[in-house]
């Protein structure tokens, strides 16, 4: 069974631009969660989608948004990029909602904002 895939793996953007990251979950998984990881900050939860609906949201500004498609693939968008948005963005999929099921993480997208 193929694992969680994320594209692109690396991205360099300029302040003020916007970016869209993509995540394809493991086949059969209906939940996709997104996390931001920076040195010293651990894994910060962004949001979780289940069956195309946002089920949980972390404490991030509205510049961070996401969506999930009927095939469970998910995208995350960050508008008006700031230098502080430079991070590794991880998505994770699970059979059911993240809090109750083992999560499988993708390799991440490393975003650098200059």
Partner 1 sequence: GQSLEQPSEVTAVEGAIVQINCTYQTSGFYGLSWYQQHDGGAPTFLSYNALDGLEETGRFSSFLSRSDSYGYLLLQELQMKDSASYFCAASAAGNKLTFGGGTRVLVKP
Binding site for partner 1 (CB under 8 A): 4, 33, 35, 40-45, 48, 55-56, 90, 92, 97-100, 102-108
Nearer to partner 1 by C-beta: 33 or 72? 33
Instruction: Sort strands 19-24 and 5-7 into parallel, antiparallel or unpaired.
Output: antiparallel
Residue 70 CB, nearest approach to partner 1 (Å): 21
Q: For residues 14 and 10, give the distance between their C-alpha atoms in angstroms, rounded to a whole number.
A: 14
Q: φ, ψ for residue 84 (rounded to 5)?
A: -70, -5
CB 15 within 8 A of CB 78: no
Residue 63 CB, nearest approach to partner 1 (Å): 21
Residue 15 CB, nearest approach to partner 1 (Å): 26
């Amino acid at each position: 069974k193929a694992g969680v895939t994320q594209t692109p793996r690396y991205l360099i953007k300029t302040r003020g631009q916007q970016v869209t990251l993509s995540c394809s979950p493991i086949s059969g998984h209906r939940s996709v969660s997104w996390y931001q990881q920076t040195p010293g900050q651990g894994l910060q939860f962004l949001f979780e989608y289940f069956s195309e609906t946002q089920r949980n949201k972390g404490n991030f500004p509205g510049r961070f948004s996401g969506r999930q498609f009927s095939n469970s693939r998910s995208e995350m968008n960050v508008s008006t990029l700031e230098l502080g948005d430079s991070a590794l963005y991880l998505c994770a999929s699970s059979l059911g909602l993240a809090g109750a099921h083992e999560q499988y993480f993708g390799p991440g997208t490393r975003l650098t904002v200059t």
